[in-house]
Structures are given as structure tokens and as C-alpha cells.
Amino acid sequence: MTTRHPASDPRYLNIGEVAQIVNVAPHVLRYWEKEFPQIRPMKRGGNRRFYRPGDVDTLLRIRHLLYDRRFTISGAREHLRQSSDAAAAGGGSAQELLDDIHRELLDLHRSLTAGSPDVSGHE
DNA sequence: ATTCTGACA
DNA sequence: TGTCAGAA
């Protein structure tokens, strides 16, 4: 077995890996972090960012809201705030959050199979 | 080579 | 969002 550094641990991804997954430039991910308090990758080794799978999931949802549904930064931020708030309510609203995510995933799937090879919808 | 921060367009 | 400078 080879040595496992934090940066090579499959549980954590660096900004370059995440940028390829969500198909946005690294500096855009840093900008989103300033706008979305929900995204908080941990920093180590100085300032290196290490994203958890959950962070990537949130980033994927943000890209969908911004590029596919053409939400504004404020609109997407509120949408995510409401989603997390619904989950935090805990009053049997967990299903609401799952339903919301399923709706976004379904819409995203339609975009991917609509015949347009470009997921983000712009270049 | 890769990423970071801050700043400007 | 894109690009640059200077540093780690």
C-alpha cells in the first residue's frame, strides 16, 4: 500500500477535482463559498481546501439552480437556506427536503437527456 | 505543477 | 466570470 496523504484520501477532494466534477473553474468555487454559507470546505496545510462528498453534492445543486434554472445568487442562496431550514425544523419535514432534492435531480436528468450535450447550458 | 488571497476589469 | 500578481 502506498502512503495516504490527506490530499490523496478519496474521502476528501481538492478544488481542482471538484471543479472538474461540477464543471466550473476553481475561482468560481471560491466565489460561491463567499456567497453560500452552506459551503464550508475545511482548510489544511495552510490554505488548501478539502471538500467532503456532501460539499460536492451542494455544489452540484447550486450549479443546477444557477445555470439550469437561471436563479440569481440570492435566489439560489435562499433556496438552499429554506431547504436546510426545512431539514433543521425536524418536524417530520425531512421528507420535504428529500422531495425537493429529488425534484432538482429529476429536472437535471431531463436537461442531461434533452439532447443538449452541454450540461451547464452555456460556454 | 497546483492552489491561495486579494484586487481589478 | 475572467484574469493577473505574488506567495506558499
CATH of the domain at A27: 1.10.1660.10
Q: CA(A91)–C1'(B4) in Å?
A: 41
Q: Which structural domain, as residue segments, surrounds residue A43? A: 6-112
Q: CA(A3)–C1'(B6) in Å?
A: 35
Q: Indicate if CB(A92) is under 7 A from strand C.
A: no
> How confident is the model at residue A63, as a pLDDT?
92
Q: CA(A62)–C1'(B9) in Å?
A: 25
Indicate the number of domains in chain A. Answer: 1
CA angle A105, A108, A111 (to 5 degrees): 155
Examine residue A119 and state whether it is found in any structural domain, yes or no: no
Mean model confidence pLDDT for chain A = 79
- The 10s digit of each residue's pLDDT in A103-118 is 777 777 776 676 655 5
- The 10s digit of each residue's pLDDT in A64-88 is 899 988 999 999 999 988 876 666 6
**What is the end-to-end Cα distance of chain A in Å, rounded?**
41
> How confident is the model at residue A44, as a pLDDT?
80
Nucleotides of C under 7 A from a protein CB: 1-4, 8
> How confident is the model at residue A39, as a pLDDT?
85
